[in-house]
Amino acid sequence: MDDYDDLLGRVAAQAAQSERLQAPVAPDLLTEAERRLGFPLDPLLAALYGRVGNGGFGPFDSLLSLTPAPSSDDEDTVVTGYLARIPPADANTWWSWPRGVVPILDWGCGMFACVDCLSEKGTVLLFEPNAISGQDLSDAWFVDAGSLAEWLETWLTATGWYEEEAADQPAPEIPPWPAAPTRL
């Protein structure tokens, strides 16, 4: 039993209400995904995919699949999304994406919820490309939640900034990600 059993149980109960929920990822596919990424997933994120489902739940039932669904090899997944954003080592570009930060939810308009798999608690980051000034990508990164567990709690309690009720409130201050300048 890990520290996440209660949270995973509540997430699974909520996720079961989604018509888009996919079956959990088999252990060998989880291992293959981590091999392709080049680092282990945050433990809670791995447990979500391995015990709750391969996407189709979470805010707006839109958590990305870790691996392609059997019916679609072309689907944008956590793995393909991350690998597509990492420029080749010899690329002559200002564009970069932080190592170990995987996209988990596409908010639209280029915005993504991401998990920093290299942080201790799986910090959830908001990538907002509309905030980029010039060629400074660090302007596009914000801390949405201090941990994946906190982020999931906001979904479970319907208190996230993205909730319809939040539209009637002043926009929350989402702080910049202080590690962005050193991680890009």
For the domain that residue 24 is a member of, what is the CATH number?
3.40.1580.10
Across 36-40, 52-56, 88-92, 128-132, least confident range: 88-92
Per-residue model confidence as pLDDT tens digits over 102-154? 999 999 999 999 999 999 999 999 999 999 888 888 999 999 999 999 999 99
Q: Please state, in angstroms and rounded to a whole number, the distance separating the CA atoms of residues 109 and 84.
A: 17
Residue 121 CB burial class (10 angstroms; 0-12, 13-18, ≥19): middle
In this prediction the pTM is 0.93
Residue 93 lies in a domain: no
Residue 16 lies in a domain: yes
With the CA atoms of 126, 106, 157 and 4 taken in that order, what torsion angle do they form, in degrees rounded to the nearest 10? Answer: -80
Contacts of 92 (CB under 8 A, 6+ apart): none
Range of the domain at 81: 5-88+100-183
Residue 114 lies in a domain: yes
pLDDT band at 76 (very low <50, low <70, confident <90, very high): confident
Mean of the pLDDT values across residues 32-58? 97
pLDDT band at 184 (very low <50, low <70, confident <90, very high): confident
Q: Can you say whether residue 110 is alpha, beta or left, with left for phi > 0 and alpha for psi between -120 and 50 degrees? A: left
Q: What is the pLDDT of residue 1?
A: 43
Number of domains comprising the chain: 1
Residue 130 lies in a domain: yes
- In the chain, the percentage of residues whose pLDDT exceeds 90 is 75
Q: What is the pLDDT of residue 74?
A: 54
Q: What is the pLDDT of residue 70?
A: 64
The answer to whether residue 172 scores a pLDDT higher than 80 is no
Provide Rg for the chain, Cα atoms.
16
Residue 29 CB burial class (10 angstroms; 0-12, 13-18, ≥19): middle
Residue 178 lies in a domain: yes
